[in-house]
Structure 1
Amino acid sequence: MSASQTDSALAAELKAGQTRNLLLATLASTMGFWAWTIIGPLAKTYSADMDLGAGQTSILVAMPILVGAVARVPVGALTDRYGGRVMFTAILGITAPLVLLTAFVGQMDNFGLLVLVSFFLGIAGTVFAIGIPFCSSWYEAHRKGFATGVFGAGMVGTAVSAFFTPRLVNAMGYMGAHVLIAVLVAAMAVICWLMLRESPSRRGVEPAPMLPKLKDAFSLKETWLLCFMYAIVFGAFVAFSNYLPTYLGNVYDFDATGAGTRTAGFAAAAVVARPIGGTLADKVGPKLVSIVSYAGAGILAVVVALQPSAEQVYGPVFVLMAMFLGLGTGGVFAWVARASQPRTVGTVSGIIAAAGGLGGYFPPLVMGATYNEAQNSYFVGLSLLAMFCLLGLITCFILRNGGRVDERTAAAA
């Protein structure tokens, strides 16, 4: 078979399996994100039951984010080696019993033990580092931004968690809600094993050892710049998705259900914007998309910091901020495939995804530490977000390969 015939056969195989595997991976990510963020929507309940202060509540909310961030580096590298089918099944299979363990410990009113369990629950957040290389390998170079953008919409799991978790607790009880979530996560693990397939582009590719790939990835200036950029936009999204129920409860006196509904709207707006950001990055380049994202999010962070009192003002502002952050997550990750070789996309994306998770770990702690209880204000924390958006905007002009790449150029490369 000639090289052109081989390329045509590979293209046909890719096309036949693209949509199914992308949608299944996105659904798996949604379930992983739901499990990853079940602590946040119930933070006010835990705070009341255990008499927690603002700092303790922020630690509880932030703890799953930590391991979900750090563990993305080895999980991304392991995905390069073993593939997305195995890794999705393994991570979701581990997550399901951790959800049940969270339920048991949550009823014990033991803050320290719940923090420990929530730390391990963070393993669910590593699904992101699996799906990026898995989905990217199914698509051509000029459509990788679209693929990673659609997969990134799996972060809608945070909206699902914010909206449904408190409602399920009200309807089924605390334990019943967690049992249902655990069953759904376990079922998704089985579906991944039975229905996911690896991209034919991986066929015959011998995976390189993990440590040299990690060393090479960390040696690239582009990796560090992308880590910083992604930590801002994805970190802000994760931080708000987890801490917003607490913020709305403190500042605007919403109960868990009301705050969860509004947090779900915030997360949904970012989720819708993410694939748009990835698709636009394919067409106009990730640089322009990222510039718009950082500028818009930074300006709106200042508006939120001024703490408008009317919901018809701060509601749309939060939604618009979420959309700008979503555009940025899609735009920045569209840059990843340009900064790494195809065989190491999992490793590099795992590092950058870890930076995004760490970006979401610290803001809740900062928000809790800088909360002005006397004035009921988070002005300092939101001002810091605006400052980091400005730094991200500057970084857009430093990172290379941010322009448009058309189909013909991508094919030649």
Structure 2
Amino acid sequence: MTPLERGQRSRATVMLVLATVGFGVNFWAWSLISPLGGDYGGRLGLTGFQQSTLVAIPVLVGSLGRIPIGALTDKLGAKFMFPLVSVLTIVPVLFIAFVADSYAMMLLGGFFLGLGGTTFAIGVPFVSSWYPVSKRGAALGIFGMGTAGTAVSAFTTVPLADAFGREAPFVLVSVILAIYAVASYLLLRESPDRPEPTGSFIANTVATMRLGVTWQLAALYALGFGGFVAFSVYLPTYLVNAYGLTGTDASFRTAVFVILAVIARPVGGALSDRVGAIKVLLVSFVATGVFAAIDAIGLPLVPIPTAAFLGMAATLGAASGATFALVGQVAPPNKVGSVTGVVGAAGGLGGFVPPLVMGATYDALGNYTLGYALLALVAFGMAAFTWGPVRTAARRRAEAAAASESSGHPATTDPGPAAPTGRNPS
């Protein structure tokens, strides 16, 4: 390796760390309401569905917001977008801490708190531009560990609120966001290989929506990351309602779930680089369905349901990493941000719906059996989708890429996601 190559690799590592930290800090802010969901529910007299809506609304906005944020990142770059979004997220954090005193005001604050969740669509194109295709799965998996911000929130929010007052965790996060905004503005650098932006914001977004790869990846991520988000925001409420745990105990157990999923994400990305993302996704979805079916039975929390929850954390994390290994490999280089925005939005929406279903079924039936049964069916269906249409499209894309490489002409079709050229995608 030449000194120039070593310098480039070192710079890429620094940029990856900075992006991951920024993602984690903003995700911490994004998740601040969830650990206090039970407290808000009791203080404001909320029903189960209202409580679910309160913790889910930042997920919805953070998901849909990834579409314009991803397209803007393609246009303006992460060096501009990371500081901007970090600063803007401070506003709803402080609003919730010092102004919101009713359910309507909390919903308003939660709506704008969703900004923190959009940073995912900033980091993926930024990290992808710094790494070659053969290493993007692992790099994006490491970046995805920024979801550990949810675990930090679960571990710290309730203890800080109990010790120093309900405003304390919000003030702390605001200060950290401000520090990161300044640091990222000073230290982030765009990759020399970053594609030059072309076309208008609207034209790029429309073109992204027309790509077949976009929608197949969106479906995969809706379950992989959506499942992770759903459990990270609703698990504290579920454990309190279903098993009578204290808020602190429920938050701690949720943090363990999140940490395991975060660790599994780069593992899924690295395995995708080695054995193919289709295999990783297939195994992950089948296992998720089995674990959800176990939890649907309603056994005592320890030991079997706890083991099933931890198993789901690992499989959902691995599936999330595998999906974005595909994004880094098959999305057009000048549209990685736009594709990430749509796929990330699908993942977030996948996390928005389950808490509402869980809350509604609990209000109607007094238990969560139906919710877990539906999750199992969706997981098995997604495994079939992966083995059928996604695997078929992946093989077609790999064959088209190989043919274009041998002929010297780039492929112009988009048959769907695929593994890197020359590797069996399944």
- Is contact 1:37–1:158 with CA below 8 Å preserved after alignment? yes
Q: Which moved more, 1:241-250 or 1:396-405?
A: 396-405
Equivalent residue runs for 1:14-413 within 5 Å? 14-106=8-100, 108=101, 110-202=102-194, 205-371=196-362, 376-397=366-387, 398-399=389-390, 400-401=393-394, 405=420
Query: How many angstroms apart in 2 are the aligned matches of 1:179 and 1:200?
Result: 37
Code of the residue aligned with 1:48 in structure 2: it is: G
Q: Which string of whole-angstrom CA distances, capped at 9 and with x for unpartnered residues, describes residues 275-318 of structure 1?
A: 00001001111000000110111110011111220422222221
- Is contact 2:126–2:190 with CA below 8 Å preserved after alignment? yes
Code of the residue aligned with 1:176 in structure 2: it is: A
Code of the residue aligned with 2:79 in structure 1: it is: R
Code of the residue aligned with 2:9 in structure 1: it is: K
For residue 92 of structure 1, report the CA deviation from its aligned partner. Answer: 0.6
- Is contact 1:14–1:200 with CA below 8 Å preserved after alignment? no
Query: How many angstroms apart in 1 are the aligned matches of 2:144 and 2:43?
Result: 35
**Structure 1 ranges of 4+ moved more than 3 A:** 8-14, 402-406
- Is contact 1:284–1:404 with CA below 8 Å preserved after alignment? no
Code of the residue aligned with 2:48 in structure 1: it is: A
Query: How many angstroms apart in 2 are the aligned matches of 1:155 and 1:47?
Result: 25
Identity over aligned pairs, percent: 42
Code of the residue aligned with 1:385 in structure 2: it is: L
Q: Which string of whole-angstrom CA distances, capped at 9 and with x for unpartnered residues, describes residues 220-260 of structure 1?
A: 22211111110011111101100000000001111111000
For residue 10 of structure 1, report the CA deviation from its aligned partner. Answer: 7.8
- Is contact 2:330–2:419 with CA below 8 Å preserved after alignment? no
Structure 2 spans left out of the alignment, 5+ residues = 395-416
Query: How many angstroms apart in 2 are the aligned matches of 1:226 and 1:405?
Result: 15
- Is contact 1:91–1:124 with CA below 8 Å preserved after alignment? yes
Q: What RMSD, in angstroms, separates the aligned Cα atoms of the two structures?
A: 1.8
- Is contact 1:149–1:277 with CA below 8 Å preserved after alignment? yes
- CA pair 347-310 structure 1, distance change in 2 beyond 3 A: closer
Query: How many angstroms apart in 1 are the aligned matches of 2:361 and 2:192?
Result: 51
Query: How many angstroms apart in 2 are the aligned matches of 1:138 and 1:35?
Result: 27
- Is contact 2:329–2:418 with CA below 8 Å preserved after alignment? no
For residue 206 of structure 1, report the CA deviation from its aligned partner. Answer: 4.0
Q: Which moved more, 1:207-216 or 1:167-176?
A: 207-216
Structure 1 spans left out of the alignment, 5+ residues = 1-7
Q: Which moved more, 1:218-227 or 1:140-149?
A: 218-227
Size of the aligned set, in residue pairs, is 398
Residue 4 of structure 1 corresponds to none
- Is contact 1:372–1:378 with CA below 8 Å preserved after alignment? no
